[in-house]
Structure 1
């Protein structure tokens, strides 16, 4: 066939990447392979052309996990817009539901269109104008018109109140009552429009737009990361023969107070109500997903540090006054952590794993023969 594809299927632990294709390091292959960060590289600028003036507002809606209906002229436009919206939070993992192309025949149709409960946190891409009537109670609706020619200056859709939604003849626009917490970056829009006038390549425009969104998300997340790191117990508090200390609880008020000295203003030039944005973010699925993942990583790190502390301790001294029950308990716990570490669930060095195996052999060898048979069956 003449073409070789080497594919890596990412796992849930992988962090999303963005950016242009990367050159592979295999110098002996001609032509040199190109590594794509995903199978389908979205042309973010082309997707956001009609909504460039409202990219920051849409970013906030995505960050806060707000329900958004995207009504597009075709399934392709609908799908690309939804995927572009869900990708604009990178490197923050998108933890809400999203449907690039949703129809009345989908099994969740009744669930999404019911008025007996609040709309779910989902980005819904549709083409049927019927949804305008069915989902009139949704707080945010993005109506996209027919795409323009690539060389044309994009006509920006207008921001409109949800009350102006009409059943079938709804004009293109972003129908929302959401007031942005952050001031809009007008310089970005000027740079993008200037690039369009100068016929700058679309991939360069996309890189500018994605870099802006990346810096915006990172500026928002970095204070959370710093505060979360402060909740980790100090290494000196981890002793080999005691249960590892607990991770300190995340206190929202303490975090908000910390923003005065280490807030997003240190890394992001945008002004606005950052406190209000964080307060709303705490109620979103994205905060819950981010916190759970970070807490899990910290717990694994804590467990790994405890395992290292055990492996660096003097085992013979510890065993001198311990009963067989305590020794067997140590063996079982070490084995459990060894299995987890070997399954890449714990960030442990290979040298530590070797010491742990040696410890297990030493401990088991000190026990009576009957217990050795139980712990190490032939």
Structure 2
């Protein structure tokens, strides 16, 4: 269940903390609400002596490391060869410097309830960039060049693209006071609680969006929740259909015939570089690739926009070892030579390219020398699965009949969702079979561990309960699973599921203990055994808060009663010690 939210006298919602206790507005300090959405806003300008330089960080109390500042500055401008005139929007993802503060309590709460693929990552920030370059004869270089960069933990690409499109033009027109005004508005917003629909007033506009939660179904319309902010009469809200999704069909249109191949590459976390003429194109494409395997989480690294100045440049481009599992979006032609040893390269032209005009095929071997000019997919990879020609024909027909892009995107998104679910359902079913039988769980012994995951045992189940039950796509599913097992996506999925199963087993053991008659059990037991049982129950109750064990309030209350039952059997001195400890 999502956290309950309320509205105080300022119209600002409360937030439940991790123990389910309401955080009252009096406990929320200035900038707390702001920080749950945005880490800071950076102004990056071009300095004749320094190059790209940090002009301002707002709010002023936020500290960035020198490495973080450097990465933000270099990624805030399109590469010089891109020639982006006017206004350009794109996004990036940077590593947080080691040793710095992790997630805020609001982000930890958000992560408990949101879909796994939208979690805030303690090791990374997103940067949402609005860059302006216009001719200005009054400046020494003859150009005005400046970027507004919103730094956030949240992967809400669509929402923050809208937010930066409201803030940046105001800043270019009116300067720093407009940033202060925007930040003041944001500091009044309710925290991002999954499943809630929020109204977000900003500089005279209202954005309305639903924060996704684990139980959201694709295509279900949002209903307005209780987190409206009504500080003053406001115009009708601009309703966002999604806080995080990019236009998938627009991204994949130039390479739509290879969409199943790309899905396999992303699923198995193969190293991919996306080369495009603008950071807008490459960052959207990288984001679209990562979202291909929803609801699975992409567990390898990805950089929607990456430059030669990035602190990880040497790490990712060295030829001393095989490329790491990462998806890079690049625009500088220099990468065509630097990364030509990479196994999978997607070259996108920025001019509209409709699927019906596609003539290129997969490029292999000697064709790699044409990377700097010819769009296409360059790879040596042989797909395990056949293409689903039905969906491809439907999408091509949609282009010919001028079907709306939103509908095309919905078609391809649903197809990929069903494909991923067909792939993951057998794994989920096998994982469930590793659970010990509930009748074998003893209230007086530690919870049993799940049985080990055996890849060969799993593969032997595919004949009767494999993907063929839900997908009509033919091919070597076994080979694809074997490759998936070697990827960080499998490790991430398995570790999360193993943790969930272990927590479930612990919860079942505690439920059994809460139903047990400990007054009978205590008979004939040594005092040390009874005290040990009391301490273990107390420890488990504490763990149930910090480890997010799925325990009901009823079970917690019953455990406290069982603990009280056996405390009563002890001598008075021990009772006093246990009650006060």
Alignment TM-score, normalising by the size of structure 2: 0.60
Structure 2 unaligned residues grouped into runs of 5+:
1-10, 14-36, 38-105, 118-215, 229-233
Aligned twin of 2:558: 355
Q: State which of 146, 165, 177 in structure 1 corresponds to 2:350.
A: 146
Specify whether residues 13 and 296 from structure 1 end up closer, same or farther in structure 2 by C-alpha distance, changes over 3 A only. farther
Aligned twin of 1:253: 456
Asked whether the 8 Å contact 2:485–2:491 carries over to 1, the reply is yes
**Cα offsets for 1:217-265 (capped at 9, x unmatched):** 0111111111111110000000111222221111111111111111111
Q: State which of 108, 114, 127 in structure 2 corresponds to 1:14.
A: 114
CA distance in 1 between partners of 2:574 and 2:237 (Å)? 56
Aligned twin of 1:41: 245
5 Å matches for 1:361-372? 361-372=564-575
- Normalized per residue, the structure richer in helix is 1
Aligned twin of 1:133: 337
Aligned twin of 1:76: 280
Asked whether the 8 Å contact 1:24–1:34 carries over to 2, the reply is no
CA displacement at 1:313 relative to structure 2: 0.7
5 Å matches for 1:172-211? 172-211=375-414
CA displacement at 1:22 relative to structure 2: 2.5
Specify whether residues 85 and 12 from structure 1 end up closer, same or farther in structure 2 by C-alpha distance, changes over 3 A only. farther
SS at 2:378 equivalent:
strand
CA distance in 2 between partners of 1:336 and 1:34 (Å)? 49
**Matched residue count:** 374
**Cα offsets for 1:173-214 (capped at 9, x unmatched):** 111010110000111111011112222111111110011000
Q: State which of 304, 307, 317 in structure 2 corresponds to 1:100.
A: 304
CA displacement at 1:300 relative to structure 2: 0.2
More displaced stretch, 325-334 vs 287-296:
325-334
Is 1:23 aligned to residue 222 of structure 2?
yes
5 Å matches for 1:265-284? 265-284=468-487
More displaced stretch, 325-334 vs 78-87:
325-334
Q: State which of 519, 532, 538 in structure 2 corresponds to 1:329.
A: 532
Asked whether the 8 Å contact 2:273–2:344 carries over to 1, the reply is yes
CA distance in 2 between partners of 1:73 and 1:322 (Å)? 76
5 Å matches for 1:204-243? 204-243=407-446
Specify whether residues 354 and 18 from structure 1 end up closer, same or farther in structure 2 by C-alpha distance, changes over 3 A only. closer
CA displacement at 1:168 relative to structure 2: 6.8
CA distance in 1 between partners of 2:239 and 2:498 (Å)? 32
Specify whether residues 322 and 282 from structure 1 end up closer, same or farther in structure 2 by C-alpha distance, changes over 3 A only. same
Is 1:58 aligned to residue 262 of structure 2?
yes
CA displacement at 1:19 relative to structure 2: 3.9
Alignment TM-score, normalising by the size of structure 1: 0.91
Specify whether residues 371 and 112 from structure 1 end up closer, same or farther in structure 2 by C-alpha distance, changes over 3 A only. same
More displaced stretch, 194-203 vs 15-24:
15-24
- Normalized per residue, the structure richer in strand is 2
Asked whether the 8 Å contact 1:82–1:99 carries over to 2, the reply is yes
